[in-house]
């Protein structure tokens, strides 16, 4: 497969994300991470033994699909909402493992993120969440999100892949933050950004993996930052 055609494959999740956002159904929302999984599997099929870390990204996308289903169908159910958050937690854990395999946690970024989000939790979320179990879940989720972003900052991937991966993880953090405003603080003004940032995250992360494999094909060995 040529390099150009590899990047053209991203049109598939991009079109699916537009259709999902414009109201064509949950099937197209699921099709975004599903098509990204298919693209990654196609490009890495003959090199999976050399790039076993991609299985963590695939697992993260699978957990995200499950999380989507629970949140879309949660209604007023606390259990469904908690299950969705739990699956997204495991998705973040997979992103974190991938980043650590390819680098290390950036301590400065971690400290800054923890300061921002712990203050956000203490002064905004904690007073607003009456259910203490849910409050604890939310805190743990915020912590793994911050660590995941800090690890993305610390990756030593080929620079374009590194930046694309970091942007993708940041998009997830932004989407999750907006969801927190919506669910716990009754602030719906930013709701229109939840899905676009979420879809963009999958596309950016997939783009990062495409960049890495095409760089390997061109140079014979993966470049590091």
Instruction: Decide: helix, strand or coil at residue 42.
Output: helix
Helix 26-44 to helix 54-72 angle (10° resolution) is 170
pLDDT in tens, 41-69: 999 998 888 899 999 999 999 999 999 99
User: 222 and 208 in contact (C-beta within 8 Å)?
Assistant: no
- Give pLDDT tens digits for 21-41: 998 889 999 999 999 999 999
Cβ atoms of residues 201 and 175 within 8 Å:
yes
What pLDDT, on a 0 to 100 scale, did the predictor assign at position 102?
A: 97
pLDDT at 179: 92
Say if residues 210 and 43 touch (Cβ distance below 8 Å): yes
pLDDT in tens, 161-200: 999 999 999 999 999 999 999 989 999 898 999 999 999 9
Please, are residues 98 and 111 in contact by the beta-carbon 8 Å criterion? Answer: no
Burial code (b: 16+ CB inside 10 Å, e: under 16) for 136-162 equals ebbbebbbbbbbbbbbbbbbebbebbb
Q: pTM here?
A: 0.94
């Amino acid at each position: 497969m040529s390099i150009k055609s590899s990047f053209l494959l991203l049109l598939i999740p991009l079109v699916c994300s537009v259709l999902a956002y414009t109201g064509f159904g949950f099937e197209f929302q699921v099709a975004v991470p599903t098509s990204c999984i298919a693209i990654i599997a196609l490009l890495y099929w003959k090199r999976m033994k050399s790039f076993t870390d991609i299985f963590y990204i695939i697992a993260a996308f699978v957990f995200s699909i499950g999380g989507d289903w629970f949140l879309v169908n949660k209604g007023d159910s606390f259990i469904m909402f908690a299950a969705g958050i739990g699956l997204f937690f495991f998705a973040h854990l997979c992103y974190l493992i991938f980043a650590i395999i390819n680098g290390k946690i950036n301590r400065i970024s971690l400290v800054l993120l923890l300061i921002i989000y712990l203050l956000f939790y203490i002064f905004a979320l904690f007073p607003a969440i009456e259910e203490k179990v849910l409050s604890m879940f939310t805190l743990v989720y915020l912590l793994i999100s911050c660590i995941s972003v800090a690890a993305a900052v610390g990756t030593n991937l080929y620079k374009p892949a590194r930046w694309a991966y970091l942007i993708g993880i940041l998009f997830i953090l932004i989407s999750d933050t907006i969801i927190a405003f919506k669910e716990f603080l009754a602030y719906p003004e930013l709701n229109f950004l939840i899905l676009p940032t979420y879809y963009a995250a999958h596309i950016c992360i997939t783009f990062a993996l495409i960049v890495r494999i095409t760089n390997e094909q061109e140079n014979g060995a993966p470049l590091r930052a």
